[in-house]
Structure 1
């Protein structure tokens, strides 16, 4: 195992800019919350931001030891998982999705450690042949408030972790309190398997059994709500450093 810190690529959100200058810039810009980067650095990795240049995906991954696909206030295009219709609530960032899909597909093919967070978990499921629930309140009447009303740095609900899974081994837990900031969820996991669920049955985590480390969580472990959150990042760094 190398003594150097593994290099972890982190995907970014993007916005087109605002002509009136009310946003960060009048011109297109990337963005990411600091706690994503801090969680990786605190676990022993070196986080590096990745552009949305799909044409650079292969060369980028040659230099990385691990990949984190982050969340954001947008959705995966339903056409990517064969849906014939698109719910009115669905919003797209097609350039970002294309770039992240390219990175994910290559990372999985190359056995590069992968962590998908929130929307990144949903895209991971789609990448592995799965499908999504487009809007939880309509598809699952009576479901929990998965877009929790309290602040995101507080727990929204618990998840039950499937025994014997990678997530169970990593966290050392059967249950975890997590935050919740999503209106979509994994419907079918494709080649992945479900490794955690919410009390209402909504899928909260998936993993790809044939891969050295490929995990997706629906919550945001970078907020460190539970002890298991930090362990998820530590496990990613351990897997990335042992390649």
Structure 2
């Protein structure tokens, strides 16, 4: 078991109420079980920016998770903020520190949903703040059905690393977001998009493993999701 890749997973944070009368962290169990099933050792990461380097010294790969909040538009140069945007500044500060440190080390990174969006911003890209406000006749990217079911299909880009991992060019995905990549970060390429044109995945071919997807592969609703986790863990062990 000593050769297991240790995978840092960013936590969500919540204000007092519900689980506790005090601030608390949260993480769906399937974020961890997906790592275990792919052969990794999950390690959830509390939000301590000053400890980012210490965390990075102890992990082999980083998963930046999603959540019901948004990246601050000021981080990608936007002069205004859409009324739907919800911030978690402390979480974003920590995740940016982890992403920047992982990028500096060329450590494998998997960005999921909001994690993909922050990865794009960290690398110099921008975001659509609210899809219905910018994309005419858009799909239901905040699907009404449960997240362990498909919401729509995505088309993978031939020749991309993600397409090679998935073993095909179309997969069914779940969908739980109202923001998306707008301008792709320099050096990155699009590896997936929805049929309404919304960017569903990015990757940086210059790096060991740097992939972001807009859906939630931890639910493993397709074999492509499981393949993605296995490829990520394999890169972390290389």
Q: Report the TM-score, using the length of structure 2 for normalisation.
A: 0.98
CA RMSD in angstroms, aligned pairs only: 1.0
Matched, 1:152 2:151: no
Equivalent residue for 1:5? 4
Measure the CA separation in 2 of the matches of 1:58 and 1:189: 27
Correspondence for 2:181 among 178, 182, 186: 186
1:171 is aligned to 2:170: no
Deviation per CA, 1:200-222: give whole Å up to 9, x if none. 00000000111010000000001
The structure 2 residue matched to 1:198, chosen from 186, 194, 199, is: 194
Unmatched tracts of structure 1, length 5 or more? none
Partner of residue 120, structure 2: 125
Write out per-residue CA displacement over residues 151-187 of structure 1, whole angstroms, 9 at most, x where no aligned residue: 1110011111001111011111111000000000000
User: Which shifted more, 37-46 or 185-194?
Assistant: 185-194
Match of 2:214 in 1: 218
- Using the TM superposition, give the Cα deviation of residue 141 of structure 1 relative to its aligned residue in structure 2, in angstroms: 2.2
Q: Tell me how far apart the structure 1 counterparts of residues 29 and 176 of structure 2 sit (CA, whole Å).
A: 17
Does 2:135 correspond to 1:140?
A: yes
Give the 3-state SS of the residue equivalent to 1:41 in structure 2.
helix
Q: Give the 3-state SS of the residue equivalent to 2:4 in structure 1.
A: coil
Runs of 4+ in 1 over 3 A off after TM superposition: none
1:49-80 per-residue CA deviation (whole Å, 9 max, x = no partner) reads: 10110000011101100000000000000000
SS of residue paired to 2:202: strand
Q: What is the rounded CA distance, in whole Å, between the counterparts of 2:37 and 2:142 in structure 1?
A: 27
Asked whether 1:40 is paired with 2:35, we answer yes
**Structure 2: segments with no counterpart, 5+ residues:** none
Number of equivalent positions = 237
> Is structure 2 residue 86 aligned with structure 1 residue 86?
no
Q: Secondary structure at the match of 1:188?
A: coil
In 2, the alpha carbon distance for the partners of 1:173 and 1:108 equals: 28
Secondary structure of residue in 2 paired with 1:149: coil
**Are positions 1:232 and 2:228 aligned together?**
yes
Secondary structure, counterpart of 2:32 in structure 1: helix
Q: For the residues of structure 1 that align with 2:158 and 2:135, how far apart are their CA atoms?
A: 26
- Displacement after TM superposition at 1:3 (Å): 6.6
Residue 110 (structure 1) aligns with:
105
Q: Secondary structure at the match of 1:30?
A: strand
Paired with 1:165 and 1:108, the residues of 2 have a C-alpha distance of: 20
